[in-house]
């Protein structure tokens, strides 16, 4: 996509996003007053196959709460319109503005956050997964064992939240390793305290691994919208709890907590 074209598309999406944000803030009054919010049609068109709305209010924000985890794969027909960040990483165009606001405010505090992974295609996720399988194979694992073990470290293609365009890994420029020490950086401290104000949550907290199926990742943020992020910040719930998803145990569940993106940084770069 050409740069100028991308920007104009992004700007158009900003307009829609702002309209939508305004509509959400005053959803009840606005919806009652005019019957239907014009931005809804635009918003719905961006994701052609959003989950079935459970209510009229939910129809506006279903895309923000898309659940992708080890037990809930991305719908096969999933599509998303992307916007590019300055470093070439891509995200769902509808979250671009709030992400930009968050990173700008973080920068304004004298901090240096770096988005090191964002949207991944199925092909990219498959490459990450297959590379992991191959490395395990090389050190003596049998094929099936290698696949099982690889799935503990890299999300099986189709089950990575990065494929939604709503998730991103952010690290401190001074410490770019994806491990638990990341939480000690000033950038993570700021993001953990403030990301909800922009509609983002730390998706895999240290104490929710059995529910999310993924171990602690003090770098992986997920856009859920300002309303849901504020509610989760207030209650301490993770996304599965907020959505009241039954806790999955036994078959299909990883035997241990795992990290879905704790691989060498160059490999996390989307193609």
d(CA 250, CA 238): 20
d(CA 168, CA 222): 7
Residue 203 near Zn ion by CB under 5 A: no
The residue among 98 and 169 lying less far from Zn ion, judged by its C-beta, is 169
Residue 159 near Zn ion by CB under 5 A: no
The residue among 61 and 182 lying less far from Zn ion, judged by its C-beta, is 182
Is residue 149 part of the annotated active site? The answer reads no
Residue 6 burial (10 A CB sphere; 0-12, 13-18, 19+): middle
The residue among 21 and 265 lying less far from Zn ion, judged by its C-beta, is 265
Task: Give the shortest CB-22-to-Zn ion separation in angstroms.
Answer: 30
Q: Out of 97, 187, 217, 240, which one is annotated catalytic?
A: 217
Phi, psi of 67 (to 5 degrees): -100, 115
Residues 232-271 within binding reach of Zn ion (CB under 5 A): 261
The residue among 24 and 129 lying less far from Zn ion, judged by its C-beta, is 129
Task: Give the shortest CB-25-to-Zn ion separation in angstroms.
Answer: 29
Assess contact for 129 and 154: CB atoms under 8 A.
Answer: yes
Stretch that binds Zn ion, among 69-77, 92-100, 170-178, 216-224 (CB under 5 A): 216-224
Interface residue with Zn ion among 60, 97, 169, 240 (CB under 5 A) is 169
Stretch that binds Zn ion, among 40-48, 105-113, 144-152, 218-226 (CB under 5 A): 218-226
HSE at residue 78, side-chain half, CA atoms within 13 A, is 22
Residue 220 near Zn ion by CB under 5 A: yes
Site map (CB under 5 A) of Zn ion, residues 104-123, x = contact? --------------------
Task: Give the shortest CB-92-to-Zn ion separation in angstroms.
Answer: 15
DSSP letter for each residue of 144-178: HHHHHHHHHHBPPTT--GGGGTSEEEEEETTB---
Helix (H) or strand (E) holding 84: strand 82-84
Among residues 219, 167, 209, the alpha carbon closest in space to that of 188 is found at: 219
Helix (H) or strand (E) holding 137: helix 122-138
Q: Which residues bind Zn ion (CB under 5 A)?
A: 169, 220, 261
Active site residues: 217
């Amino acid at each position: 996509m050409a740069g100028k074209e991308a920007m104009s598309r992004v700007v158009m999406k900003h307009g829609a996003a702002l309209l939508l944000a305004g509509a959400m803030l005053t959803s009840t009054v606005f919806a009652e007053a005019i019957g239907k919010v014009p931005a809804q049609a635009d918003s719905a068109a961006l994701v052609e196959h959003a989950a079935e709305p459970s209510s009229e209010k939910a129809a506006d924000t279903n895309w923000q709460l898309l659940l992708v985890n080890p037990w809930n794969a991305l719908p096969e027909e999933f599509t998303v319109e992307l916007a590019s960040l300055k470093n070439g990483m891509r995200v769902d165009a509808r979250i671009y503005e709030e992400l930009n606001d968050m990173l700008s405010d973080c920068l304004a505090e004298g901090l240096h956050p770096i988005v090191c992974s964002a949207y991944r295609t199925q092909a990219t996720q498959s490459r990450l997964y297959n590379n992991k399988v191959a490395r395990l194979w090389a050190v003596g694992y049998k094929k099936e064992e290698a696949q099982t073990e690889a799935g503990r470290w890299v999300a099986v293609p189709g089950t990575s939240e990065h494929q939604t365009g709503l998730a991103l890994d952010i690290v401190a420029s001074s410490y770019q390793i994806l491990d638990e020490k990341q939480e000690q950086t000033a950038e993570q401290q700021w993001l953990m305290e403030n990301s909800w104000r922009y509609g983002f949550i730390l998706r895999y907290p240290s104490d929710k691994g059995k529910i999310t199926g993924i171990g602690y990742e003090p770098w992986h943020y997920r856009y859920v919208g300002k309303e849901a992020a504020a509610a989760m910040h207030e209650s301490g719930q993770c996304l599965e709890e907020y959505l009241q998803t039954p806790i999955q145990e036994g078959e299909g569940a990883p035997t241990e907590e795992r990290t879905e993106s704790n691989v060498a940084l160059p490999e996390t770069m989307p193609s």
